[in-house]
Structure 1
Amino acid sequence: MKVILRQDLEELGLEGDVVDVAKGYVRNYLVPRGIAVLATSQNIKAFELQKKKIELRRLRAKEEAVQLKERLEGMGFSFAQKAGEEGKLYGSVTAMDIAEELEKKGFVVDRRKILLDKPIKSVGDYKVPVRIYPGVTGMLQLSVVPEEKTSAE
């Protein structure tokens, strides 16, 4: 079944694209959530009129994504975690932890865009990919260090 996307979807395409997907996916997910509309001749004509606006929005979003990528790659982030003698963490550093730290620094990045295969469980330096926009992926420099022990212990 052919539909026109009203917003970018990682697995399907970008806003304004006409894609062919299963009927159930259209009926149960895409249309009820307002993500897509059926590709009728009337809807196709309406999107053709909006094509320039969509292209302009995509261009701006990509430029912003490239700027964000450059700012992220220019910074280093450090996490202080409780660690054992051999550098193993008692907890772990997850994508959610990284997203929270980025938010504290003024960067708004969805945790699902942080491509961390598995949680970080040992002390060290890491490069974590962050998908900012389709086709724009930045590398985040992370440093996991052991938490300093207080003198009261």
Structure 2
Amino acid sequence: MTTKLILTHDVSKLGSAGDVVEVKDGYARNYLLPRKLATPWTKGAQRQIDQMTEARRKRSIASLEEAQTARAWLTENVVTVTATAGANGRLFGAVTTAALAEAVKEADGPAIDRRKIEVVPPIKSTGRHSASVRLHPDVVAPLEVNVVAER
């Protein structure tokens, strides 16, 4: 059995906010709906879909040229993040995507949405790490991160 849903947030390997998708019942019931990543599809939900796509359009980087400019900045620069760490360089927690977006902004970089940053595996130690940022449906930029211990 499948369930028809409207995604309210971007879900990797499934779709972006505003998309109508059909998924298996268990995936919808146990993952997407409890985490509020999707809502059940109804005939009257078309207006909601239109509002979400309009909000996403305003929030996203407008054009491909802007995305390529942002990618050029991200590939040329290394972003430094300070975090609380123990004596052996292991962090207390992990570096969040919000902290990465804020660090890019503080370094006079492009404004990027924290939800578009993917960090695999999580950053849990000091040193040099890499992440990726989906700036545009056609543009993915690498993000180099240098994590230093807070003094």
* TM category, shorter: 0.5 to 0.7
Following the alignment from structure 1 to structure 2, what is the Cα–Cα distance between the partners of residues 77 and 142?
5
Taking structure 1 as reference, are residues 20 and 125 closer, same or farther at Cα in structure 2, changes over 3 Å only? closer
Structure label with greater radius of gyration: 1
Give the 3-state SS of the residue equivalent to 2:41 in structure 1: helix
Residue 140 of structure 1: how far off its partner (Å): 0.7
1:57-96 alignment to 2 at 5 Å?
Answer: 61-96=63-98
Residue 126 of structure 1: how far off its partner (Å): 0.8
Taking structure 1 as reference, are residues 26 and 135 closer, same or farther at Cα in structure 2, changes over 3 Å only? farther
1:107-126 alignment to 2 at 5 Å?
Answer: 107-126=110-129
Q: Does 1:34 align with 2:36?
A: no
* 8 A contact 1:99–1:111 mirrored in 2: yes
* 8 A contact 1:81–1:144 mirrored in 2: yes
Which of 90, 107, 127 does residue 105 from structure 1 map onto?
107
1:130 maps to which residue? Answer: 133
2:30 maps to which residue? Answer: none
Taking structure 1 as reference, are residues 91 and 26 closer, same or farther at Cα in structure 2, changes over 3 Å only? same
Residue 81 of structure 1: how far off its partner (Å): 1.8
* 8 A contact 2:80–2:103 mirrored in 1: no
Q: Does 1:142 align with 2:138?
A: no
Give the 3-state SS of the residue equivalent to 1:65 in structure 2: helix
* 8 A contact 1:88–1:123 mirrored in 2: yes
Provide structure 1 residue ranges, at least 5 long, that are not aligned to the other structure: 1-8, 14-18, 37-59, 149-153
Taking structure 1 as reference, are residues 138 and 31 closer, same or farther at Cα in structure 2, changes over 3 Å only? same
Provide structure 2 residue ranges, at least 5 long, that are not aligned to the other structure: 1-9, 23-39, 53-61
* 8 A contact 1:81–1:91 mirrored in 2: no
TM-score, length of structure 1 as denominator length: 0.60
Residue 92 of structure 1: how far off its partner (Å): 2.1
Identity of aligned residues (%): 29
Counterpart of 1:113 in structure 2: which amino acid?
K
What is the aligned residue count? Answer: 113
Across the aligned residues of Structure 1 and Structure 2, the Cα RMSD in angstroms comes to 3.1
TM-score, length of structure 2 as denominator length: 0.61
